[in-house]
Amino acid sequence: MNKKSILVTGGAGFIGSHLVRHFVKKYQDKYYIINLDKLTYAGNLENLKDIENYDNYKFIKGDIKDIELVNTIFEKYNIHSVIHLAAESHVDRSIENPLEFVTTNIIGTLTLLNAAKKHWKNDDDNVFYHVSTDEVYGSLGETGKFLETTSYDPRSPYSASKASSDHFVRAYSHTFGLNTMISNCSNNYGPYQFPEKLIPLIINNIVNNKTLPVYGDGKNIRDWLYVEDHVKAIDQILHKGKYNETYNIGGDNEWMNIEIVHKLCDTVDEKLGRSPGTSRKLITFVKDRPGHDRRYAIDSAKLKSEIGWLPETDFATGLEKTVDWYLNSQDWLENVTSGEYLNYYKKQYEQ
Ligand code: NAD
Ligand code: DAU
């Protein structure tokens, strides 16, 4: 059987590596997966060591903004569909350097859309799938949830760049007839997440007896989803979803940041044989993130009723798996934090 080529961008990052692994293993006879990744500080080929020799997998190091490279990939591999994840993904970095987010997240998406528009002429089942975020909808009060119809209200440079790229994806579908899909997902957690994000940062700092920085009053709320459940949702939307539609993906799993930090302290203390309460003493309330969104919550009713997706991993199980993975992956942690990240971390927390 002739395999269809799927171009995955950002496949060496956190969610991308789980997605590439899932697609390469599950669809060995159906898809040839081409992973285009620039390997920024957030991308690491160690995330994909276990599948690098599969016949239906190819890694290409490169930038999604490189017009010539992207067009060559479309031609050479006869790209059938794109699952686009490559992005600058960290809100704090977007506050420090918004321009990088504009170039990668907006211009990069445009470069891929243009290539799809150029190369996909008469085939009705090509799809450009954009992996996006719930942050495009802004911030919620104490009640309510984001629906697919909620107006966009991005409030950080990161979310503004993702909102813009969502708009361009829709514009290409409306103006040029490109088949597109967008999903907007809540906070992911799990193995291979770069330790600048809340959960791995806190685990890593607990292990190393460093202070645990909690922004503001620690009462900001996020909805957490285990990364493999996100990947399964993308798989199901790609195969069962409707073209030019948006699907919200969430875990029905809202927690205040401080509650998560407490859970992590207690879990790691127990696993490391430290006496109860030891790591909670490391908690330090620090200056709030500028413009910090108060609450995110996702209504995934459309995804559940139209596609039949449900999150499978409950928070206690997912958090324990995640903690175990980080405790057993000290080499990975050292590797991914040995470069540019150390300077960034010092600037953020150790001034
Ligand atoms: P990540 O930062 O872990 O990975 C991003 C990947 O993109 C890295 O491998 C990086 O090398 C690559 N990349 C960056 N710039 C590139 C460029 N110019 N060309 C090619 N590759 C480039 O991000 P993540 O957390 O895995 O998020 C992946 C996608 O999912 C992003 O688009 C993000 O907006 C979206 N998303 C993330 C979450 C979350 O909780 N992490 C939730 C919803 C949506
Ligand atoms: O909602 C989806 C989004 O989730 C994704 O689109 C983003 O790519 C992803 O980075 C994530 O954004 P957040 O800003 O919510 O994630 P982060 O892990 O940076 O922060 C989670 C919460 O924890 C947030 O309220 C800020 C807070 N925080 C974060 C860090 C890094 C702290 O209190 N201390 C910290 O040191």
From the list 48, 51, 46, 58, the residue with the least C-alpha distance to 3 is 58
The number of residues making up the chain comes to 351
**Cα 150 to ligand 2 centroid, rounded to whole Å:** 21
In angstroms, the Cα distances linking 22 to 31, 58, 92, 230, 306 are 11, 14, 29, 11, 22
**Cα 273 to ligand 1 centroid, rounded to whole Å:** 35
Residues with CB under 6 A from ligand 2: 89-91, 133-135, 186-187, 197-198, 201, 213-215, 220, 222, 257, 289, 296
Is 158 tagged catalytic?
yes
219 pLDDT above the threshold of 70: yes
What does the pLDDT average to over 238-261? 98
Which pLDDT value is given to residue 339? 76
- Contact (CB, 8 A) for 139 and 94: no
Tell me the fold of 198-221+255-290+315-349.
UDP-galactose 4-epimerase; domain 1 (3.90.25)
Tell me which of 3.40.50.720, 2.60.120.560, 3.50.50.60, 2.60.120.480 is the CATH number of domain 4-189+224-249.
3.40.50.720
Q: Look up residue 280 and give its amino acid.
A: R
Closest ligand relative to 8 C-alpha: 1
Where in the sequence of the chain do the CATH 3.90.25.10 domains occur? 198-221+255-290+315-349
* 17-70 residue pLDDT tens: 999 999 999 999 999 999 999 999 999 999 999 999 999 999 999 999 999 999
What does the pLDDT average to over 133-158? 98
Q: Ligand 2: which atom is nearest the Cα of residue 159?
A: 6
Q: Ligand 2: which atom is nearest the Cα of residue 156?
A: 14
**Cα 274 to ligand 2 centroid, rounded to whole Å:** 27
80 pLDDT above the threshold of 70: yes
Kindly write down the DSSP assignment for every residue of 183-223, as one continuous string. Answer: EEE-EEESTT--TTSHHHHHHHHHHTT--EEEETTS--EEE
* 148-199 residue pLDDT tens: 999 999 999 999 999 999 999 999 999 999 999 999 999 999 999 999 999 9
DSSP E strand stretches across 199-303 = 212-215, 221-226, 245-249, 254-256, 283-286
Which pLDDT value is given to residue 195? 96
The fraction of the chain above a pLDDT of 70, given in percent, is 99
- Contact (CB, 8 A) for 79 and 34: yes
Q: Is 89 helix (H, G, I), strand (E, B) or coil?
A: coil
The DSSP bridge partners found for residue 284 are 213
Q: Ligand 2: which atom is nearest the Cα of residue 218?
A: 33
Kindly write down the DSSP assignment for every residue of 51-110, as one continuous string. Answer: GTT-TTEEEEE--TT-HHHHHHHHHHTTEEEEEE--S---HHHHHH-HHHHIIIIIIHHH
CA-CA distance, 167 to 58, in Å (whole number)? 30
* 264-294 residue pLDDT tens: 999 999 999 999 999 999 999 999 999 999 9
210 pLDDT above the threshold of 70: yes
CA-CA distance, 42 to 40, in Å (whole number)? 5
pTM: 0.97
The DSSP bridge partners found for residue 213 are 284
